[in-house]
Structure 1
Amino acid sequence: MLHRLALRVLPSLTLAVTEDSVRTRKRVVMFVPGLVAFAVYRAAKHVTSLSEPLTLLLLSGLVSLATAICAYRVGRTVPFSRLIDEDGVPRIVWVLAWIGFVYGVQLSLLVLALLWLVGYDYAKHPDGPAMMAIIIPCTAVARDAFEIGHIRWLERSGRPFATFPDGVALRALLRRIPPAMMQWLGLGVVSCVGLSLAVMPLVNGDWAVLVEGALVTLVAGTVALPAFLSGQAGGRDWVPQFTNTGWGELLKFWWWPGLAFASTYYLVLVAAACMY
């Protein structure tokens, strides 16, 4: 989901994908794959059992994979035959594997977790949740792949961007992992795991997931804020950065992506654990 962060936080990327003409095309790009995904779901019901979690996730991932490359091509406005020549194999593989399959599976798990929270349990009533776990991720993948393709088209047309939402900079950072980054990662992991272990004996049943999720989200989102400021400070003291930033901006980042991403990944892990 880090590409979503880039697409929504960086002004140059946000403005590029929210123009009126782009939004109109994006609605069509999201609507058509949704219909196709529904047709695939109806056909798959007669071929295999979607009550099997692995089958459902595999099908959702494959549908999202096909959707991703098609939506990316629409955003790029070039034929399939030219995609590899112009964008290269690594980027096309990234669109297929990460934006398509992995992101689609992740969103399927998120949908199933949210449905479970409102009492619509996939384990008890698989048909409805299975349908939504295929269609909703498919439309979200179509939106993101189209936006990324559109940005790539603008880039090829000569419009400069500070970065491209393909995770290259993040992967380069992870290869060297600065000590400060390890400290914040360690603090986040230890805090969340310790809090989960402390809550487990106190709350039982479904309430345990809700209480633990709320606390883990709060802690992880809160740790993310100073970690972000520390990264901005470039290894220097992040406290002056904190005091010089307005409360509105701090709360905005604390809410999104801090709390939002923390709760999302928590629900994905809960869904994966419940399914297996």
Structure 2
Amino acid sequence: MEARDFELLIGQNIIDRYHSDSTRPQVFELVGMEWDLLDDVWPPTYSPGGELYAHLIPFADMSSFLEMGCGTGIMSVLAALAGVERVLGLDINPAAVRNTELNAARHHVAHRVTARESNLYSAVGPGERFDGIYWNPPFLNAPEETVDSSIWHETMFDPAYTKLRRFLSEGRGLLTPRGRAYLWFGEALGNPTLVSDLADETGYRLDVLQRVEMSEIPEALVDAFPADLTGGEGDGGGAWHLHLLELTPR
């Protein structure tokens, strides 16, 4: 099986796992706080991302912050709680926009957090600029002809990493002179030099703020993966490398 077909299989299994999961809570706990979770929004409890290392992002130096693919809005809320005055969450999923608004209200930062339905940067207003832009992007490079426009395919797949390339290249023009882009990205299946190659291509310097090595697939997702990848009954699979990356325009 070719790598992209394998990534399609993994992603579709994860989507099917979500739809068959009757245990998803309406309120969950992460980073020591409680969060609302709406249907049709990715549950961060399945596989927590960069929000676990939000303290490494220099929010104290920012007056404006954009979270791409805001989902439940955790990073947007954490940025606002850290003192960022103007936070914008963008998501192609209207349920995620509502979820971000709910969590901003839950944590009393609705006056600082705005959420908009957006296809990448399409909802950014003229003249809006940001000191920080963050994304936990789709990791899986499925064949383009197999991917549709559904919310879950948009969430899970990025054929040829076209969306990630656009995030970086178009994001440069939305950063203030001191602005930085931040990515939570995994090397579980993809090209381990992908982001550094794209950083060079789009004119960024890349720094690793956090590198996490996971010896196991998150428990909530383990049944989405073939036994030979998870280690089956053996001694476990290979390491998974996850990174919080800072990209500085050159």
Please tell me the TM-score bracket, short chain as reference.
under 0.3
TM-score where L is the length of structure 2: 0.25
Higher RCO (CA-CA < 8 Å; seq separation 6+): 1
Higher helix proportion (structure 1 or 2): 1
TM-score where L is the length of structure 1: 0.23
The structure with the larger Rg is: 1
